[in-house]
């Protein structure tokens, strides 16, 4: 239930003009502990001015306090060896932990609820406070940016308040704690999610009572426990099944001799099912080896082999590879006379301002773990509309809140004018009037600058790359495909080699990474590029690209090379549109209800020389490859440029020809 409704009775009981403090708290909370909740309770005591509570001298008196908890994504939450709780589970545990408080609830992202609160209760005065741990505040220097508009509450662990005071004393900004803009909260017991995980792992009931809410403990007792499996009690066949499962899920070779060795080695080992599931397959295999190595002679050889395999698995793991793509986690932007800084959290994918304001969440996971269901695009059902407009105009419309825009970019997320020129500043996008740069300029500048700071290019070869795994597979088989400053270079191949290369691409194209900036505020430049807007709504950008055909670095050597490049381009176009649509469908309907709108801009037209028929065919195949349920959640539109004569008419004709035009 949305907190705006959970606290409805509380807010309706207030008089016009009374002040309401909104305290937001963001973290992984894997799982939520008593300390997390206590931080909100202590913040409320300070803000409400309860008797005996020390508070800033000039802090206003608040008549009510609301608390909102937001959670980071599943990316890297639960590394190997840790308890992995997905977002849905963590959210449920938070709801259990705060069930008794009518003023605390969960929100989608930090600060997401304040606009709704102001709209539904305009007669009340809302003030937002970002709550954070003192250690993180010291690390990020958030106290430097506290102001009347950007307020912060630091909750301390034993000893951390002194470190924070020392850091503040060295600040040049003259921070005055009596203003109430930066509030130093009390020191709470040193309780962490890591402590809770350890206690849960050994089922230490007494310790858990001091770490977790009773409702949370009950949930773990009921849903996360399981009977112990003693491997020495299993028959050889049953044990082989367990070992096979570990090897398969770990992507380890499953040879008969290795399995037999493992069965012998694990005769006396035991591991309970909850631990096996919690650790994950690779770590479980390592744990079993560690147990067996204590009893079986010469086990160290096998243990070393497992270590080597696990390193190889980590190197092939898309999440591990993706982490290496982002090398710059802090940066600054400048646009239209304004400037600011950003930080990137590689654990959550969140990009924030230096003051802690949420900019957006960058996602770059592969489309799927399995080959894509590539349809032929010939089924006829009306599901695609045509919007003849302009990207900046559409992004700026509040009606497009939470819509997805598939932007023409390069395969590194950036927009370079050619494969030999690198753009480094988002302000330079002002001189490129094509749809991709204008789309990036229309949202918070920090988003586009982050992409430019991390895009794969000549000076940053391991940067963001949508096709890294596809190109790696092609290179492995001797095909010299490259990504040159975001442009895919397609080599000329012998006639007998082109089908092999196309088969490799088809088998690996599911690893293409949709580069998505989620929930980014549409507060970038106005369409005239004269000033930044004050738009509050948020949109989602998908930085997508086609492959240049017979142009740029893919000038055709002969007809065979031209046809080969075009077929490669067709596959990449399909995957870009399908990946974007599937990602959008996975988000479910927008918060306002109804269908989620996705605007597919033409990719690869114009100077990239992808035929319009090819672009529309890729759109048709992508839409057709969605499941009925996925397609039903989306309002799919082709966004044509109203300033390009005949484009709308041509796309309307071709989409209608596929039988998918929605009239």
Q: Which of 162, 189, 223 is the last residue of a domain?
A: 223
Q: For residue 543, how far is the Cα from the chain centroid?
A: 14
Tokens of 335: 């646009």
71, 94 Cβ separation under 8 angstroms = yes
Beta bridge partners of 521: 538
Let me know how long the chain is. 663
pLDDT at 278: 40
Query: Degrees (nearest 5) of the Cα angle 650, 651, 652?
Result: 90
333 falls within a domain? no
Q: Which two tokens stand for residue 468?
A: 């890294």
Write down the pLDDT at residue 262.
47
State how far the alpha carbon of 579 is from the alpha carbons of 364, 405, 407, in Å: 11, 13, 13
- For residue 342, tell me if it sits in a domain: no
520 and 374, same structural domain? Answer: yes
User: Residue 464: helix, strand or coil by DSSP?
Assistant: strand
Per-residue model confidence (pLDDT) at position 263: 45
Total domains, the chain: 3
Burial of 534 (0-12, 13-18, 19+ CB in 10 A): exposed
The domain boundary residue, chosen from 180, 198, 223 = 223
Specify the DSSP element, H or E, that contains 6: helix 3-6
Q: Is residue 344 part of a domain?
A: no
Can you give the pLDDT at residue 295? 44
Question: Under a CB-based contact definition with an 8 Å cutoff, are residues 404 and 598 in contact?
Answer: yes
Same domain, 456 and 582: yes
Which of 285, 316, 347 represents a domain boundary (last residue)? 316
Residues 250 and 151 in one domain: no
CB of 320 within 8 A of CB of 314?
Answer: yes
499 shares a domain with 460: yes
Host domain of residue 214 = 3-223
| 405 and 551 together in one domain | yes
d(CA 426, CA 415): 10
* Interior/surface letters 73-97, b for 16+ CB within 10 angstroms, e for the rest: bbbbbbebebbbbeeebbbbbbbbb
User: In this structure, are residues 127 and 66 in contact, taking their beta carbons and an 8 Å threshold?
Assistant: no
The answer to whether position 322 is within a domain reads no
Same-domain pairing of 310 and 387? no
The answer to the question of residue 335 being in a domain is no
CA 344 to chain CA centroid, nearest Å: 11
Q: Which two tokens stand for residue 39?
A: 């931080």
Strands (E), 346-478: 350-353, 358-363, 384-389, 404-408
Torsional sign, CA 592, 595, 596, 598: negative
Task: Please give the pLDDT value at position 206.
Answer: 73
Query: Tokens standing for 474?
Result: 């092609």
pLDDT attached to residue 203: 62
Q: What span, in angstroms and rounded, lies between the C-alpha atoms of 354 and 520?
A: 16
List the CATH number of the domain containing 455. 3.40.220.10
Task: State the Cα–Cα distance between residues 69 and 176, nearest whole angstrom.
Answer: 27
- Residue indicated by tokens 């599943």: 74
Q: Cβ–Cβ contacts within 10 Å for residue 213, how many? A: 23
DSSP 385-403: EEEEE-HHHHHT-GGGTT-
Q: Are residues 167 and 130 in the same domain?
A: yes
Q: Are 404 and 496 within one domain? A: yes
- Tokens at 69, concatenated: 């908890």
Residue 339 is assigned to a structural domain of this protein: no
Name the H helices within 414-467: 435-441, 445-454
C-alpha span between 334 and 337 (Å, rounded): 7
Binned average pLDDT, 10 residues per bin, the chain of 663 residues: 65 93 91 93 95 93 94 55 66 92 88 86 94 82 81 86 80 79 88 77 71 88 48 40 46 46 43 40 50 44 44 44 82 95 92 93 91 85 96 97 97 94 95 95 98 95 94 90 96 91 94 96 96 96 97 93 96 98 94 94 94 96 95 97 94 96 90
> What's the rounded Cα separation, in Å, for the pair 26 and 422?
35
CB 153 within 8 A of CB 41: no
- Note whether 205 and 239 are same-domain residues: no
Residue 351 forms part of a structural domain: no
Q: What is the DSSP letter of 232?
A: G
Residue 346 domain-assigned?
no
């Amino acid at each position: 239930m949305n907190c705006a409704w959970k606290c409805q009775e509380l807010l309706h009981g207030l008089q016009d003009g009374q002040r309401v403090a909104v305290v937001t708290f963001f973290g992984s909370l894997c799982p939520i502990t008593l300390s997390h909740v206590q931080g909100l309770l202590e913040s409320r005591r300070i803000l409400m001015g309860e008797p005996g509570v020390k508070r800033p001298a000039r802090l206003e008196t608040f008549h009510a306090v609301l608390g909102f908890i937001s959670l980071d994504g599943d990316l890297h939450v639960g590394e190997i060896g840790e308890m992995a709780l997905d977002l849905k589970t963590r959210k449920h545990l938070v709801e259990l932990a705060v069930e008794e408080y009518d003023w605390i609830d969960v929100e989608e992202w930090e600060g997401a609820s304040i606009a709704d609160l102001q709209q539904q209760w305009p007669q009340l005065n809302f003030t937002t406070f970002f709550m954070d741990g003192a250690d993180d505040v010291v690390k990020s220097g958030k106290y430097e940016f506290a102001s009347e508009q950007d307020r912060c509450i630091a909750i301390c662990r034993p000893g951390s308040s002194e470190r924070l005071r020392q850091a503040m004393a060295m600040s040049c900004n003259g921070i005055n704690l009596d203003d109430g803009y930066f509030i130093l909260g009390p020191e709470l017991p040193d309780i962490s999610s890591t402590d809770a995980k350890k206690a849960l792992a050994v089922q230490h009931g007494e310790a858990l009572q001091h770490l977790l809410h009773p409702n949370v403990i009950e949930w773990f007792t009921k849903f996360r426990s399981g009977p112990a499996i003693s491997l020495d009690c299993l028959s050889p066949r049953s044990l082989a099944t367990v070992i096979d499962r570990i090897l398969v899920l770990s992507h380890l070779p499953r040879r008969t001799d290795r399995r037999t060795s493992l069965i012998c080695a694990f005769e006396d080992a035991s591991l309970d099912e909850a631990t096996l599931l919690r650790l994950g397959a690779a770590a479980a295999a390592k744990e079993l080896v560690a147990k067996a190595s204590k009893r079986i002679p010469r086990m160290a050889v096998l243990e070393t082999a497992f270590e080597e395999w696990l390193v190889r698995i980590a190197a092939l793991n898309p999440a591990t590879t993706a982490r290496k793509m982002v090398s710059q986690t802090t940066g600054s932007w400048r646009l239209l006379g304004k400037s600011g800084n950003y930080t990137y959290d590689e654990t959550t994918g969140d990009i924030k301002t230096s003051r802690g304001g949420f900019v957006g969440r960058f996602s770059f996971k592969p489309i799927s773990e399995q080959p894509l269901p590539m349809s032929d695009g010939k089924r006829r059902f009306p599901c695609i509309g045509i919007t003849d407009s302009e990207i900046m105009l559409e992004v700026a419309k509040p009606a497009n809140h939470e819509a997805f825009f598939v932007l023409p970019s390069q395969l590194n997320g950036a927009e370079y004018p050619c494969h030999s020129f690198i753009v480094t500043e988002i302000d330079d996008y002002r001189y490129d009037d094509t749809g991709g740069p204008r789309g990036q300029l229309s949202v918070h500048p920090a988003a586009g600058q982050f992409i430019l700071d991390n895009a794969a290019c000549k000076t940053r070869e391991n940067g963001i790359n949508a096709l890294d795994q596809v190109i790696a597979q092609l290179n492995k088989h001797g095909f010299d495909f490259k990504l040159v400053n975001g442009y895919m270079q397609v080599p000329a191949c012998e006639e007998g080699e082109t089908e092999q290369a196309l088969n490799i691409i088809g088998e690996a194209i599911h690893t293409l990474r949709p580069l998505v900036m989620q929930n980014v505020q549409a507060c970038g430049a106005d369409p005239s590029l004269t000033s930044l807007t004050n738009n509050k709504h948020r949109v989602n950008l998908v930085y997508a690209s086609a492959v240049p055909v017979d142009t740029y670095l893919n000038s055709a050597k002969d007809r065979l090379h031209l046809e080969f490049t075009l077929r490669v381009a067709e596959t990449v176009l399909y995957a870009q549109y399908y990946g974007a649509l599937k990602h959008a469908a996975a988000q479910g309907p927008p918060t306002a209800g109804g269908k989620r709108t996705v605007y597919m801009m033409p990719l690869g037209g114009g100077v990239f020389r992808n035929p319009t028929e090819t672009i529309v065919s890729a759109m048709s195949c992508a839409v057709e490859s969605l499941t009925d349920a996925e397609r039903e959640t989306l309002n799919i539109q082709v966004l044509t440029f109203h300033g390009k004569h005949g484009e709308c008419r041509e796309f309307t004709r071709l989409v209608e020809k596929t039988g998918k035009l929605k009239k």
